Amino acid sequence: MESWIGSQIANEALMLPDTQPNIGIWAKLLLFGSAALLLLLHLFEPNTVGLWPQVFYNSLHVPVFGIVALSIYAATAARVKWNFRKRVLITFAAVFALSILSEAAQIPGPRDASMQDLVSDWLGATAALLFALAFNSGGQVRRRIKFVAAFAGTAVLIFALSSLIVVSVAYAERSYQHPVLVSFSARFGHYFRRTQHASLVVLRDEKYGQFTGQITLNEGAWPGIIFHDIWPDWRDYSALLVEFQLDGDKLLDVNIRIHDQDHRLGDQPYDDRFNKAIRLLPGHNTLLIPLEEIRDAPAKRKMDLSQIDEIVIFGTRNEAGRVFQLLEIRLQ
pLDDT above 50: residue 4:
no
Whether 329 contacts 313, CB under 8 Å: no
Helix axes 143-160, 162-177, angle to 10 degrees: 60
Residues 107 and 235 in one domain: no
Residues 288 and 247 in one domain: yes
- Which range among 51-60, 105-114, 128-137, 230-239 shows the weakest confidence by mean pLDDT? 105-114
CA dihedral for 127, 130, 134, 137, sign (positive or negative): positive
Q: Determine the average pLDDT of the residues in 214-225.
A: 95
Residues 41 and 129 in one domain: yes
pLDDT in tens, 102-148: 777 766 655 566 788 889 989 999 998 888 888 865 556 678 888 89
Whether 242 contacts 258, CB under 8 Å: no
Evaluate whether residue 166 is within a structural domain. no
pLDDT above 60: residue 216:
yes
pLDDT above 70: residue 194:
yes
pLDDT above 60: residue 7:
no
pTM of the model: 0.79
Look at the chain and report how many structural domains it folds into. 2
Alpha-carbon gap, residue 116 to 120, rounded angstroms: 6
Q: 74 vs 27, which has greater pLDDT?
A: 74
Evaluate whether residue 173 is within a structural domain. no
Evaluate whether residue 174 is within a structural domain. no
CA dihedral for 267, 269, 274, 275, sign (positive or negative): positive
pLDDT of residue 202: 94
Q: Determine the average pLDDT of the residues in 62-79.
A: 81
Which of these three, 103, 131, 160, is where a domain ends?
A: 160
Mean pLDDT computed over every residue of the chain: 84
Q: Which structural domain range is residue 196 located in?
A: 179-331
Q: Which amino acid is at 218?
A: N
Which of 251, 256, 266 is closest to 300 using CA atoms? 266
Residues 252 and 117 in one domain: no
pLDDT of residue 39: 67
pLDDT of residue 27: 61
Whether 228 contacts 326, CB under 8 Å: no
Residues 148 and 231 in one domain: no
Q: Cα separations (Å) of 66 from 10, 33, 35, 73, 146?
A: 13, 12, 12, 11, 18
pLDDT of residue 328: 94
Evaluate whether residue 171 is within a structural domain. no
Evaluate whether residue 241 is within a structural domain. yes
Residues 266 and 188 in one domain: yes
φ and ψ at residue 293, rounded to 5 degrees = -65, -40
- Read off the CATH number of the domain in which 259 is found: 2.60.120.430
Q: 71 vs 227, which has greater pLDDT?
A: 227
Q: Cα separations (Å) of 245 from 182, 215, 218?
A: 15, 11, 18
pLDDT of residue 110: 53
Evaluate whether residue 309 is within a structural domain. yes
pLDDT of residue 90: 85
Residues 129 and 259 in one domain: no
Evaluate whether residue 105 is within a structural domain. yes
Evaluate whether residue 6 is within a structural domain. yes
Q: 4 vs 133, which has greater pLDDT?
A: 133
Chain-centroid distance of CA 8 in Å reads 34
Residues 6 and 151 in one domain: yes
Residues 233 and 314 in one domain: yes
pLDDT in tens, 270-300: 899 999 999 999 999 999 999 999 999 999 9
Residues 277 and 137 in one domain: no
Residues 205 and 309 in one domain: yes
pLDDT above 70: residue 41:
no
Alpha-carbon gap, residue 279 to 13, rounded angstroms: 68
**Diameter of the chain measured on Cα atoms:** 85
Residues 133 and 209 in one domain: no
Whether 69 contacts 281, CB under 8 Å: no
